[in-house]
Amino acid sequence: MADFTFYGSWRDTLGMLEHIIRTGENKVIADIAYKKPEFLQIRSLSEHEVKKIKKNHSVYIWSESYSQYPISFDSPDPKGYMGIEIQESGPLIHMGLADIYKEDSLFRIASGYIYYPPYFINPKTKRPYPPPPSMYKAFLSIKKII
């Protein structure tokens, strides 16, 4: 397992995401409620895409260098929405997005983070497996960007 916490404004966060996207080494995927099992890849920081990711302040990072499996979705909730299943996908790095917001007339800072769990589940066999070594290397590269 690896995790790193950081702080910044929304502008800082968007700069980090833009840099991660520009490397071309990663797919940045919105952590949102999905009606269909089709993920939204963030390819640029258009107004529409920024609005989507700001809802949950969270994205997933998938890369050919460490991801072996496609994105997997949870079972739909009673309203028919589903989320991405981090342990049976990819594997994936989860990135919480830092922001500054106003609450009760006070400005607050929400921390950001990058994280991945200590094990993942093979979606075919349902057996756990450890994160590949290349995942930690990618984690460190993203950490440098932050």
Q: Where are the domains of the chain?
A: 2-145
State the pLDDT at residue 102.
Answer: 76
Per-residue pLDDT of the chain (146 residues), as tens digits, is: 789 999 999 999 999 999 999 999 999 999 999 999 999 999 999 999 999 999 899 999 999 999 999 999 999 999 999 999 999 998 999 999 999 887 788 878 889 999 999 999 999 999 999 999 999 999 999 999 99
State the pLDDT at residue 128.
Answer: 96
- 131 close to 139: Cβ distance less than 8 angstroms: no
Alpha carbon of residue 28 to chain centroid = 7
Q: How many CB atoms lie within 10 A of CB 69?
A: 16
State the pLDDT at residue 105.
Answer: 82
Strands annotated E in the chain: 2-6, 27-30, 41-42, 58-62, 93-96, 99-103, 106-110, 112-116, 120-121, 128-129
pTM of the model: 0.92
State the pLDDT at residue 101.
Answer: 80
- For residue 70 the two structure tokens come to 């496609």
